Structure 1
Amino acid sequence: MAACLSGLALATAFPAQAEMKPTLSFRGVPGVIDMPSGESQPDGTFSMSASHFGGIRRGALSFQISSRVAATYRFERVGDWNALFPGDSSTYEGKSFDLRFTLLEETDSLPSVTLGLQDVFNTGKDGAEYIAATKTFGDRLKVTAGVGWGRLGSYGSMGSPFGARPVSDFGLGGKPEPENWFAGPAAAFAGVEWKINDAWTVKAEYSSDAYAEYAGTRDVFERDSPLNFGVEYSRGRFFKAGLYSLYGSEIGLSFQLVLDPKTAIAPGGRAPVAIGKRPSRSADPEAYDGGWVTQPDAGTVLQANLAKRLAVDGIRVEGLAYSPGKAQLRIRSTRAEPEAQVIGRVARAMSHVMPASVEVFEIVPVAQGIGVSKITVRRSDLEALEHIAGNHAAIRDRVVISDAGPVPEGLVFPEDRYPKFTWSLKPALRLSSSLKGDAGLRLRGTYEIQPGLILGGSVYQTLTGRPAADPATPGPLPPVRSRSAEYLENGEPALESLTLAWYARPAENFYSRVTVGYLETMHAGISAELLWKPVDSRLALGVEVNHTKQRDTDGGFGFGEFDYEVTTGHVSAYYDFGRGYSGQLDVGKYLAGDVGATLSLDREFANGWRFGAFATLTDASDEEFGPGSFDKGIRVTIPLDWLMGRKAGNSVSRTFRPYSSDGGARLNVSGRLYETIRDYQGNELDDQWGSFWR
């Protein structure tokens, strides 16, 4: 993967690490060379890897969901799959998901032990199960031993301790077959790693994978030995590259990029200024005189001073309302900073700018022109608690987080706030689930007419690369997604979206959105949404209704190519489990007319990193859905602030599926309400309140 190669330059900024951290196998999971190990990555770790040997290319994305559970998405491409048949140069492409469970963490006397399910959804040719144990001796030697079934039990069988393995009814694939797990022949594998110094490691392993179809039936490569050897070079804490001798006949290469979302690459932001301290009322009673509110230019001056102080932290002033004793400042952050830190920075700025008579600060974060919460801070609490021990908990006990409420009378907007036009032209990269993609330019424009009323759109022009979609054969269902590759191939340039959106707060705890226009690359129409989300509740409920028509594949304004339109809708429940974990259940009708439900689970970090998995089951049959049987996948969001070492507030998101089809497809309308308003509400702020004073 290109990201792994570019990671070498990124890693040179960091010193080498002495300890023996887990390395990745050729399948992208913690392992020795081609075999897994019993180790796990630290909680939250995200890794990307690429490997090649014997005509087999693999790319993998792995995420340590918790300290004991990890998931991996892997893509494999094998050239000359039918090499034994002259004139047939077809290529095999397979995608699979793995799950790993840490059964035992390493201690001074015990090894770490992991149970793994390889290709758990039965989507490719990689199905296997294993139990592996790894023990570290000192800071240089590491030994792994394990037992595998399926692919990993195909060489050197020790018998079938749990009975015969049923014949796999692969069919359309995509469904777990738990009756096969740990059944059939079992075989042992083992490996050893020796860390020569902080940069170089040598490895050797005994493999229990016979590669029966690859090296036998297909003759992709010759498997002359179960022994593999390798040497790896580490640069910094992120990057590794390796050179290997595999199976007695092949030379292999691997690249690994291991990232920790909890540890920022970007340098720390600007150090916070101290709280502005007021003189005592007895020492300077005139400073507390509220007569300043009668000055005609008071709002303009205060607003300009606040905007200047907050601009250095990427915080924009959206409006200011005030009285002698209270001020409400509406703000919007343009960076991927922890939300509690943003609130703390705003409170500091207000302590320096607002006259001494203002005791109560109301900070209202704004998203899409609407207030999403109100954080009320007493100025005297800021002054008293700044330097005491445990000041984070102390200030949280006195801060009130409540519904944003209506726009206050007398709210003054910055002179240049509405209407406002912004635009950008930036390089862009689109990736498919097969880890192929194209690079191009994306032109975005936004015209904010008034609070909550936004006209926006984007145009994409491909510059180089392959279409960022996997070709799919349309089945019995309407081709609402299966022809996505045609949209990417034919649209140059392509109008991705052109919409008018209206956001509002129809009542306390309620939020609404109506979006009309070219909603996404493939569909245009109207989308309406209503969300109930109390600011202090972990639960939110929503309903969405859409009526759309399928667009032509040329990326223009036409609709004549398909003559397909549909009304869809979902009822949704959202729940915040705390500590960055959240879940979502959507029940309703999808774009192809099928009816069912989608369950999603996500983990999000304060700096904007996000990982999630989802599965959709509908009344579309396996045959109607096609390969994969039902829709499922993982999604990743990476903040560019973190990755590029600069503060820009941008991120890149991608969803990876083993198969793309028309069943379970939902409209890709942007700006859905829950993700728009949740960041500055009670539970989200509480999860990272420790950053308030930073």
Structure 2
Amino acid sequence: MRTPRMPRLAMRRTALQGCCRAGFVLWAGGATALHAQEAYTQSDFGGVGLLQTPTARMAREGEFSFVLSRTTPYTNYNVSMQPLPWLEASFRYTNVSNRLYGPRSLSGSQTYKDKSIDAKVRIWEESRWLPAVAVGARDIGGTGLFSSEYVVTSKRAGPFDFSLGLAWGYMGARGDIANPLNFISSRFETRPTSSTGTGNFSTNKFFRGRPGFFGGIEYRSPWQWLLLKAELDGNDYKHQPQNNNQPQRWPVNLGAVFRLNRNVDLTLGYERGEVATAAINLHTNLATHVDPPKTYDPKPEPVAFESTPAEAPPASPASANPPPANAVTANPATRTAPEQVDWPEVATALRDNAGINVSSIGRRGSELVIHGQQDRFFYSAEGVGRATRIIDNRVDRSIDWLTVASERNGLKTVETSVHRPRFLELLDHRIDLPTFRRSVEQDPVTVREEEVLYRAPLKRFNGGFSLGYQQNLGGPDAFVLYQVYGAASGTFNFTRNLWLDGVVSLNLFNNYDKFKYDAPSNLPRVRTNLRQYLTSSDLTLPNFQLTGTHRLGQDLYGMAYAGMLESMYGGAGGEVLYRPFGERWAVGADVNWVKQRGFDQDFSFRRYHVITGQATGYLDTGFHNVTLAVSVGRYLAGDWGTTIDVSREFANGARMGAYATVTNKSGSSGYGEGSFDKGIYVSIPFDMLLPHSSRSRATLLWQPLIRDGGARLNKRYTLYTLTSDLDSDLFDKNLGKISE
């Protein structure tokens, strides 16, 4: 009889929530069958629609699209995301080829670039008798040159999809009828013509002026690769932005969409009876993506099933299945008692095969505990499964529970425990995953008596080299300013909780010699000196800091840091976070004294300094895995305000989000361009893209302007990120990877 496990001192989590295994593709992968009615196409302006106009349709949840369209004289670069089934968001750059950006002394011959953010919300879905209905707005976060609001309906009839809508502003410039909202106020009769200024929400225009009708038909041909579109355009092109009026012989636009493959659409059209148009759409679904084969990962250790187990489990229908291909039959004598195991060899195997950098290994009765940091596998269940295989091949049956106690930079976060016999039954196909769930636990880390079997020596130094790329879009100097650089990084560990790390960057090539424009600002230039930081030196030290972490108490974490904290600021600061285990919320705060660094990004400083920091509350709403983060505090320019960040995380860890910051300087003459800071972003685990496992992420941020108001310190580490292993939802939804 095995020794009973030590009693848990906190809530025990059993019956983990389900596992999500999906089957769609990134551009490089294969795909499952796709229902034709779900494959909605994008408009010239981005977002699901016909050509110039939207429909009430929505892309599949998690869809991510890049659309490049050309309709003389406009070229649109659109990024569209579908974070929720009923919400669509887009970010767009528009190149106006027959207008200059500004005076030739400022921008030379560069053509005008306009930035904008769009949103569309579905009010209700289509039913047997009623159409789908959506409301939306274009150019709500830019200059307002192409601003428009609309209500649109869509109804399907066989291969035809009909849409009809009413638009105000750019899309409804024909002004077919008097404004139905005039009964509310006479203000709705007239739409302001002046721009609200870069970066402002043009709410003073919403649903004002005479609206125009728009609509059309999309026909899905018998060939899956061909769709045809006919559209009534609500714009008469006689009142174009910048007096850039265009001829229009008739208000009907025609187009054909050629689906080159499941991830690439080519649209050819004829619009306004005047111009031929073209667009290409590259799209994928982040929610249903299937990772590429991990050909560069080591294979999991084969499992050694005993030829004559002492206790045969109850028979099940699955027991007739043959053992997995990587199973072998072994003599139980090859496994030894924990006291006789070569633990240094086990620690090496755990590092090389399971990605766990072991700090110590201990025993609690019949439970073996591996303390360490997962450095390779994004989905921790995969590392736990590999670790269980390694232990099963070396340790005798006196151990029936394996626990991986996760650490991150010295912070102990969560213990994941697997019942060893049930794990073997899962690998042998004698039980299914739902049955196995009941023998997996996640618990908070608590101090318990433990026999130490092995303590790993601390690895003092590690480092590496990489290539990097950064860019700035849409400025007056050039549409794309870019830099390719090489970076060397290194970390020296004094203890597991105290380390010194840094990054040295070497410019390889760039076009920042064109970067001459400084954005206007009446606040301290805390971010708009970007040009000087990017062009003053080819060899820079973006980061060099001493960092320490400490677990201050149950569910309470702390961190302190000092040095060159980012490319523009050095100083010292600290952060605390309370993140209770098993809860969907957390609260934290950071305080920093920082001084502006010299433009060469060496050890020199400029005169400006400030105390900055925010208190932040995090809430996983439980609604479609939407997380809300609200920060309140002081920003780098000394302004006080609030940042709201809303993001949706999918089962595989991909995330879509948006943020906005409003401070006491917003809307004032001192703020500079725009009235507040805002942006949309997508964060993709590298594990979804690479042929080897990785815990890193790629984050793409679309930000209309770089401004001084609402600017935050770009810290290298945050406690919320360091404690990400406490996200049990991500573990639960990817539990199936434990047997891979």
- For the aligned pair, the TM-score class normalised by the smaller chain equals 0.7 to 0.9
Higher RCO, 1 vs 2 (CA within 8 Å, ≥6 residues apart) = 2
Number of residue pairs aligned between Structure 1 and Structure 2: 676
Using the TM superposition, name which of 269-278 and 490-499 deviates more.
269-278
Does residue 206 of structure 1 match 2:223? no
Q: Which residues of structure 1 form unaligned runs of 5+? A: 1-7
Q: Counterpart in 2 of 1:585? A: 630
- Cα deviation, 1:236-275, whole Å, max 9, x if unaligned, reads 2211122322323333221211111122253355897786
Does residue 375 of structure 1 match 2:430? no
Q: Counterpart in 2 of 1:4? A: none
Asked whether the 8 Å contact 1:392–1:693 carries over to 2, the reply is no
Does residue 595 of structure 1 match 2:595? no
Using the TM superposition, name which of 379-388 and 61-70 deviates more.
379-388
**Matched letter for residue 36 of structure 2:** E
Does residue 425 of structure 1 match 2:469? no
Q: Counterpart in 1 of 2:348? A: 304
Q: Counterpart in 2 of 1:103? A: 123
- Measure the CA separation in 1 of the matches of 2:721 and 2:714: 14
Q: 1:537: how far off?
A: 1.9
Q: Counterpart in 2 of 1:43? A: 61
- Measure the CA separation in 2 of the matches of 1:408 and 1:429: 48
- Measure the CA separation in 1 of the matches of 2:291 and 2:131: 35
Q: Counterpart in 2 of 1:70? A: 88
**Matched letter for residue 654 of structure 1:** L
Q: Counterpart in 1 of 2:697? A: 651
Where 1:641 maps in the other structure, the secondary structure is helix
Q: Give RMSD over aligned pairs.
A: 3.6
Q: Which residues of structure 2 form unaligned runs of 5+? A: 1-24, 183-188, 313-330
- Cα deviation, 1:412-471, whole Å, max 9, x if unaligned, reads 4555x5113120222434354778342413313132413133332231525245599995
Q: Counterpart in 2 of 1:27? A: 45
- Cα deviation, 1:22-69, whole Å, max 9, x if unaligned, reads 111111110111111121011121212122222322212221121111
Does residue 410 of structure 1 match 2:438? no
> In the TM superposition, what are the counterparts of 1:453-464 in structure 2 within 5 Å?
453-458=498-503, 459-464=505-510
Match of 1:230 among 255, 273, 298: 255
- Measure the CA separation in 2 of the matches of 1:640 and 1:467: 32
Where 1:506 maps in the other structure, the secondary structure is strand
Distance 1:496 1:557, change over 3 A: same
**Matched letter for residue 209 of structure 1:** N
Asked whether the 8 Å contact 1:491–1:554 carries over to 2, the reply is yes
- Cα deviation, 1:211-231, whole Å, max 9, x if unaligned, reads 445478235x54443232233
- Measure the CA separation in 2 of the matches of 1:559 and 1:407: 50
- Measure the CA separation in 1 of the matches of 2:527 and 2:513: 14
Does residue 255 of structure 1 match 2:274? no
Q: Counterpart in 2 of 1:614? A: 659
- Measure the CA separation in 1 of the matches of 2:396 and 2:342: 10
- Measure the CA separation in 2 of the matches of 1:609 and 1:683: 13
> In the TM superposition, what are the counterparts of 1:313-332 in structure 2 within 5 Å?
314-322=355-363, 325-332=366-373
Where 2:605 maps in the other structure, the secondary structure is coil
Q: Counterpart in 2 of 1:148? A: 167
- Measure the CA separation in 2 of the matches of 1:454 and 1:366: 15
- After TM superposition, the score normalised by the length of structure 2 is 0.82
Q: Counterpart in 2 of 1:566? A: 610
- Measure the CA separation in 1 of the matches of 2:647 and 2:114: 25
Q: 1:71: how far off?
A: 1.4
**Matched letter for residue 585 of structure 1:** V
Distance 1:232 1:161, change over 3 A: same
- Measure the CA separation in 1 of the matches of 2:282 and 2:196: 35
- Measure the CA separation in 2 of the matches of 1:31 and 1:469: 37
Distance 1:408 1:238, change over 3 A: farther
Asked whether the 8 Å contact 1:638–1:651 carries over to 2, the reply is yes
Does residue 364 of structure 1 match 2:405? yes
Distance 1:490 1:361, change over 3 A: same
Q: 1:161: how far off?
A: 1.7
**Matched letter for residue 170 of structure 2:** R
- Cα deviation, 1:487-542, whole Å, max 9, x if unaligned, reads 22334233322222222223222222222221111111123111111222222121
Q: Counterpart in 1 of 2:152? A: 132
Asked whether the 8 Å contact 2:485–2:507 carries over to 1, the reply is yes
Q: 1:396: how far off?
A: 4.1
Q: Counterpart in 2 of 1:660? A: 706
> In the TM superposition, what are the counterparts of 1:324-363 in structure 2 within 5 Å?
325-335=366-376, 337-363=378-404
Distance 1:669 1:83, change over 3 A: closer
Does residue 112 of structure 1 match 2:132? yes
- Cα deviation, 1:386-426, whole Å, max 9, x if unaligned, reads 646663365346524222658967374555x5113120222
Q: Counterpart in 2 of 1:93? A: 113
Distance 1:331 1:61, change over 3 A: farther
Match of 1:486 among 532, 535, 544: 532
Asked whether the 8 Å contact 1:288–1:357 carries over to 2, the reply is no
> In the TM superposition, what are the counterparts of 1:44-63 in structure 2 within 5 Å?
44-63=62-81
Asked whether the 8 Å contact 1:51–1:58 carries over to 2, the reply is yes
- After TM superposition, the score normalised by the length of structure 1 is 0.87
**Matched letter for residue 152 of structure 1:** M
Does residue 161 of structure 1 match 2:141? no
Asked whether the 8 Å contact 1:536–1:683 carries over to 2, the reply is no
Distance 1:338 1:212, change over 3 A: farther
Q: Counterpart in 1 of 2:186? A: none
- Measure the CA separation in 2 of the matches of 1:468 and 1:362: 56
Where 1:382 maps in the other structure, the secondary structure is helix
Match of 2:603 among 519, 536, 557: 557
- Measure the CA separation in 2 of the matches of 1:470 and 1:235: 42
Where 1:485 maps in the other structure, the secondary structure is helix
Q: Counterpart in 2 of 1:185? A: 210
Asked whether the 8 Å contact 1:454–1:502 carries over to 2, the reply is yes
**Matched letter for residue 117 of structure 1:** A
Distance 1:101 1:405, change over 3 A: farther
Where 1:343 maps in the other structure, the secondary structure is helix
Distance 1:204 1:444, change over 3 A: farther
Distance 1:455 1:129, change over 3 A: same
**Matched letter for residue 583 of structure 2:** S
Asked whether the 8 Å contact 2:144–2:195 carries over to 1, the reply is no
Does residue 496 of structure 1 match 2:561? no
Using the TM superposition, name which of 389-398 and 582-591 deviates more.
389-398
Using the TM superposition, name which of 425-434 and 188-197 deviates more.
425-434
- Cα deviation, 1:77-133, whole Å, max 9, x if unaligned, reads 223326999999564322222221112323455443321122234643121111222
Q: 1:280: how far off?
A: 5.4
Where 2:593 maps in the other structure, the secondary structure is strand
Where 1:353 maps in the other structure, the secondary structure is coil
Asked whether the 8 Å contact 2:337–2:398 carries over to 1, the reply is no
